[in-house]
Amino acid sequence: MIVWVPMDSAAKAVGADEVAAAVLAEAEARGVTLDLRRNGARGMVWLEPLVEVEIDGLRHGFGPMSVADVPALFDDLSAHPRALGAVDELDWMRRQTRLTFARCGVIEPLSLAQYQAHGGLTGLRRTLDMAPAEVVAEVTASGLRGRGGAGFPTGIKWQTVHDAPGSRKYIVCNADEGDSGTFADRMIMEGDPFSLIEGMAIAGLAAGATKGFVYLRSEYPDAIAVMEQAVRIARAEGVLGPDVLGSGRAFDMEIRVGAGAYVCGEETSLLNSLEGRRGVVRAKPPLPALAGLFGCPTVVNNVISLATVPVILERGAQHYADFGLGRSRGTVTLQIAGNVARGGLFETAFGISLGDVVETLAGGTASGRPVKAAQVGGPLGAYMPREKFDTPLGYEEFDAAGGLVGHAGIVVFDDSADMLAMARFAMEFCAVESCGKCTPCRIGAVRGVETIDRIAQGDGAAIPLLTDLCETMKDGSLCALGGFTPYPVMSALTHFPEDFARSREAAE
């Protein structure tokens, strides 16, 4: 009997390890020969722990499972109260276009053999047959844009590093994933780590770098453990090292652990942190692509950007570019979170509307109450009111609607949410996490909290002050922490003015 139980940390957080142990114990008690496999997560977090029983190569899902549901897995499966049917046939799976996440949840994350059986390393092998400039051109032609937030074309960045003089260059993977509502980086690192390793190796060969670093946040101990093991395996199997897949060309990498600073997700702050300094943001220019880590030309890319590269090289740029909307090519790895009936990861072509995501995919709120707002793009992203739910997921489209796609995390709130409290939190977060370099961010955020507190006490005259403060932060901040905190604050104020119109009596 083959049984799959995810080792993804979201599955573990709701009891997957306990369920796995119960499966083992039950099999032993019944004298059943069991092949227990730990996969990554499929992305249907509301069904976790999601156990799969493989019969004749077809994987049947059961979830959400508790320990008490385990014994029935060994009886008539069709009568199991948690039976969902074949996992690949579930609506959530069938509606997706899984390119980056094709293997995630399907294979055992640390099995290089399964990785290759599902197309892994094909892109890297192809890369080794191409000139570096051709690889860069392929990534450019795919239209891939940075998934870390800014949406900068990945191929162009690689080109700059490729063209930069110098023999010492670096590939740095930004795995700081600090945005609330995002977990795509974590899921792929825990569920398909070799795709990131392969993507970084391709980047290294294309840009002319022999060394890579993954800067991985300390809040992800499970992802750190999986990535460290995957790097060791890749090195032992000759995927990494002085002779990548027998090509005679070198690329190796290290996992480095962050230390709990949100701002270290900003690329120059991250580079300072890797160098062992305070994670203060650097002024640009120089671009990291020209003078990055230790002053050397450096590609800094998000986990999803890099993990998407192998499939682009495997299937060709056109295959990827054929998906999408306008200048947002390929797929977006939506992370649906917060107060939703169905939360998780959903990969689909750009162009799906926010409303479709919130109403159809997420199925509305978990609480059953009406949806009030969705924050898209993390703590620096705007609160989108329902009136804007027709906005299609695309960089330019969201920009035009006064929001941002960012890392494509979508956090849904029901009508009990207090948008003044959310605006206050945005300012508080900025104050806590500011690197301290610019006054409008460091001091402005503290003033922002105070100003919102005055509004909460019924001082309506403080509202214009808040608006002015947001303008100052926007104009006078070096990076998007100070510069974009006004997005959640002003969107809350603009779209939900009733939450800011507190009478003095009510406040007392």
Partner 1 sequence: MTQPTAPAAPPDQAEIDAIIAAHAGLEGPLLPILHALQHAFGHVPQAAFDPLAEALRITKAELHGVISFYHDFREAPAGRQVLKICRAEACQAMGGAGLAEGVLRRLGLDWHGTTGDGAVTVEPVYCLGLCACAPAVMVDGRVHGRVDAARMDALLAEARA
Binding site for ligand SF4 (CB under 6 A): 263, 281, 434-438, 441-442, 477-479, 481-483
For ligand FMN, the binding residue among 48, 267, 314, 347 (CB under 6 A) is: 267
Q: Give the SS3 label for residue 66.
A: coil
| C-alpha span between 480 and 486 (Å, rounded) | 10
Eight-class DSSP state of 381: S
The answer to whether 26 contacts partner 1 (rule: CB under 8 A) is no
Structure tokens at 93: 């799976």
Question: In terms of CB distance, is 234 or 271 closer to ligand SF4?
Answer: 271
CB 103 within 8 A of CB 311: no
The site partner of 186 among ligand FMN, partner 1, ligand SF4, none (C-beta below 5 to 8 Å per kind) is: partner 1
**Of 89 and 275, which CB lies nearer to ligand FMN in the complex structure?**
275
What character string, x for contact with ligand FMN (CB under 6 A) and - otherwise, covers 462-481? -----------------xxx
DSSP 370: P
CB of 78 to partner 1, least distance (A): 28
CB of 153 to partner 1, least distance (A): 27
CA distances from 305 to 292, 325, 411, 507 (A): 18, 18, 22, 47
Residue 289 in contact with ligand FMN, rule: CB under 6 A: no
Q: Which of 240, 300, 349, 492 binds ligand FMN (CB under 6 A)?
A: 300
Q: How far is the CB of 151 from ligand SF4 (least distance, A)?
A: 19
Per this entry, what is the length of the chain? 508
List, in sequence order, every residue forming a beta bridge with 255; answer none if it has no partner.
Answer: 214
Residue placing its CB nearer to ligand SF4 in the complex, 23 or 445: 445
Alpha carbon 215 to chain centroid distance? 14
Shortest distance, position 280 Cβ to partner 1, whole Å: 8
Q: How far is CA 494 from the centre of its chain?
A: 28
Closest residue by Cα to residue 9 from 183, 179, 261: 183
Binding mask 177-216 for ligand FMN (x = CB under 6 A): xx--------------------------------------
Kindly tell me the sign of the dihedral angle through the C-alpha atoms of 108, 109, 114, 119.
positive
Strands 170-175 and 211-216, sheet pairing: parallel
Task: Restricting to residues 39-78, name those near partner 1 by CB under 8 A.
Answer: 45-46, 48
Binding site for ligand FMN (CB under 6 A): 146-150, 152, 174, 176-178, 263, 265-267, 300-302, 305, 479-481
